Amino acid sequence: MINDKRTRLLCLGSFILGASITLLAVATAAMWMVHHYRLGGLQTIVDAGDSNPATKAKVPACGLIEPLEIPLANPDGGFPDEKERLQPPKWLFDKTSEASLTRFLGSCDLREVEKRVLLDKRTWMINSNGITVLPPEQVVWSLSHKARQQIYSVLAKSSANYPQCFPFRFPVDAFDLKFKESGLPVEQIEKIKRLTYTNAGFLCFTDLQAVQKVLRPDDFKDLVSSLYAVPTYLLRLRVAPDADVDSLIKYWGKGGREKLVAPLLTALSHTPGGGAINISYFLPPFARLRLYTYPEDWQDPTAPKQDCFFTAMNFFNDIPDTNFFNTAYSKRVLDTEYVAVKEEPAFGDIVTLFNGAGDPVHTCVYIADDFVFTKNGVNAAQPWVLMRMPDMLMIYFAHETSGKMLVLRRKDLS
């Protein structure tokens, strides 16, 4: 949304977190309670829900949703942060003096030969914002898991250390599961394991450039495909013969589209035993055409610039409004044409996330049953997907303790 370097790094880092978020979700108890969600210190404006079991058993307004998770990967093997990932190793110790860095490295679980190499000031570049160490490749490979965790956790505090700031994360016991079907030989997977370390209860991997040098091109491509596969979902709406079709038409026909969705929903309810259909049939053209696609594959010069804000604001537009590339214009529209939602989110609502400083970091569109339509990151290799709300929140608030979420609805849809 904001075209500065910091935001670009956040968008690229969000892609990385998104690529491994399914495994994160397996290891965490994060879940959206429909009316009230809390992730660490994340607060929402949505009210507490009804705990009555009888109420929970009711069919929601959107109908019964059947999700199928699929790993979406770019068939060309491209990844959005290749430049940042494949740089030679360079460690910036931000705002650190020579004496402080010497003490820190001396306290790490390093072998004597590693200490001698890393403390050799001929490998240091001292400048006004800290000290940059250029570690030899052999030292990167030789670090113990503990030493890597000690050093990389400090490097992660500065966005200048992109790989350490945005590592690939896996539950400690799910690393093998992640690569089981990657096609990588077992011995190559073991090499990658040597470069892992633990942080906040997760297994982390960040030295992609080191691995590239020891893998065959085809194996490296398989590795990239596994690391960057985006978890998304196919969603089917199941319509029973006794379904409240009028309510379904009202829910999925938002934006003046009731007559467009009514025939299909009615037909499904008249099918013996009911029927189920992919919800993409009920999405407006803007979202339906982009879902599961990559901007780089569109014959549209503006596609690579179509960020989360542009995507959310154009959700109901038959012809995309390019004015939404302008931040000031978008903010003015939100201020004048949208209102905050205090009840349960509904189809077409815009979910906006703010960091602790109050800056907007992401927008997406609520679809149904805890799923959102989202474009995570301003880059051509990041697809439009459907994600679960907790997974999306984990991407943007994995390290945020005071972020907030606001649900907005167009006034003419209220």
Give 296-350 pLDDT, tens digit per residue: 888 899 998 999 999 999 999 999 999 999 988 988 998 899 999 988 999 999 9
Q: What is the pLDDT of residues 216-271, one digit of tens each?
A: 988 888 888 888 877 799 999 999 999 999 999 999 999 999 999 999 999 999 99
Least confident of 89-103, 140-154, 258-272, 349-363: 349-363
The per-residue pLDDT for 78 is 63
**Three-class SS of residue 392?**
helix
Residue 283 scores a pLDDT above 90: yes
**Mean pLDDT across the stretch 160-170?**
89
Of these ranges, 169-173, 184-188, 340-344, the one predicted with the greatest mean pLDDT is: 340-344
Residue range 7-14: mean pLDDT, rounded: 48
Using an 8 Å Cβ cutoff, are 397 and 353 in contact?
Answer: yes
Q: Are 152 and 108 in contact (CB under 8 A)?
A: no
Distance, CA of 405 to CA of 21 (rounded, Å): 19
H or E stretch covering 409:
strand 404-410
Q: Which of 398, 397, 408 is nearest to 355 (CA)?
A: 397
Strands 124-127 and 130-133: antiparallel
User: CA 287 to CA 302: how far, in whole Å?
Assistant: 16
Average pLDDT, the chain: 83
CA distances from 84 to 23, 100, 180, 224 (A): 24, 27, 27, 14
Q: By the 8 A CB rule, do 132 and 91 touch?
A: yes
Q: Please, are residues 44 and 196 in contact by the beta-carbon 8 Å criterion?
A: no
Q: Which residue has the higher pLDDT, 300 or 13?
A: 300
Indicate whether 76 pLDDT > 90.
no
Do 113 and 148 touch, CB atoms closer than 8 A? no
CA–CA separation, 40 and 32 (whole Å) = 13
> Which among 148, 238, 158, 253 is positioned nearest to 192, based on CA atoms?
148
Question: Residue 235 phi/psi, 5° resolution?
Answer: -115, 130
Position 78, amino acid: G
Helix ranges (DSSP H) in 361-411? 389-397
**Maximal CA-CA distance, the chain:** 78
CA distance linking residue 293 with residue 384, whole number of Å: 6
C-alpha–C-alpha distance, residues 410 and 390, integer Å: 23
**215's tokens:** 């893998």
Give the separation between CA 237 and CA 265, rounded to whole angstroms: 10
Nearest to 283 by CA among 345, 235, 230, 245: 235
Phi/psi for 282 (5° steps) reads -100, 0
Give the range among 173-187, 208-222, 223-237 with minimum mean pLDDT: 173-187
137-148 b/e (C-beta count within 10 Å ≥ 16 → b): eebbebbebebb
Of the candidates 378, 380, 373, the one whose C-alpha atom is nearest the C-alpha of residue 291 is: 373
Answer with the residue of higher pLDDT: 100 or 219.
100
The DSSP 8-state label assigned to residue 73 in this structure reads: -
Task: Give the pLDDT score at 50.
Answer: 43
In angstroms, the CA 252 to CA 291 distance is: 17
pTM over the 0.95 mark: no
